[in-house]
Amino acid sequence: MAEATPLQSVPVKMYRTADTVTVAVPMPGLGADNIAVDITADDHLVMRGQLRGALKDAKELLVDEWSAGPYYREIELPAPVDGPGATVTYGNGVLVVALPVADTTRPAQLCLRETAPTRGQRVPGDPECD
């Protein structure tokens, strides 16, 4: 019987320039479709990574010292941001969210599309994501 994998809080690096807030978060082992990013009206950034299901039960587990998700992190942003104007990328196991600074926060729910087997990016205007 497989044990449930606990939700993992992940560390962040946050940078700010005059016009952008950038957040980098390690989320190893995911595909682009396993990641969701929300910018809330109360100036929070919420990042989620779901446990991948591929090959989950297809092989015998011998050592289990880490897991590829599920991940969750919510942080307060240092300034209002334009959520729909965000750039979101995923590569080498790191999610990077770049948010344009704004006068007031515009909330958004963002997702990524696969660009390669372990890479993804947000496509602005994608009706299935935005």
CATH value at residue 24: 2.60.40.790
Q: For the whole model, what pTM was predicted?
A: 0.85
* Number of domains composing the chain: 1
Asked whether residue 11 is assigned to any structural domain, the reply reads no
Q: Is 39 helix (H, G, I), strand (E, B) or coil?
A: strand
Per residue of the chain (130 residues), give pLDDT as tens. 355 677 888 999 999 999 999 999 999 888 888 899 999 999 999 999 987 665 556 677 788 777 777 999 999 999 999 999 999 999 999 999 999 999 999 999 998 998 887 888 887 766 666 5
In a domain, 3, yes or no: no
- Decide: residue 72, CB within 10 A, 0-12 exposed, 13-18 middle, 19+ buried: middle
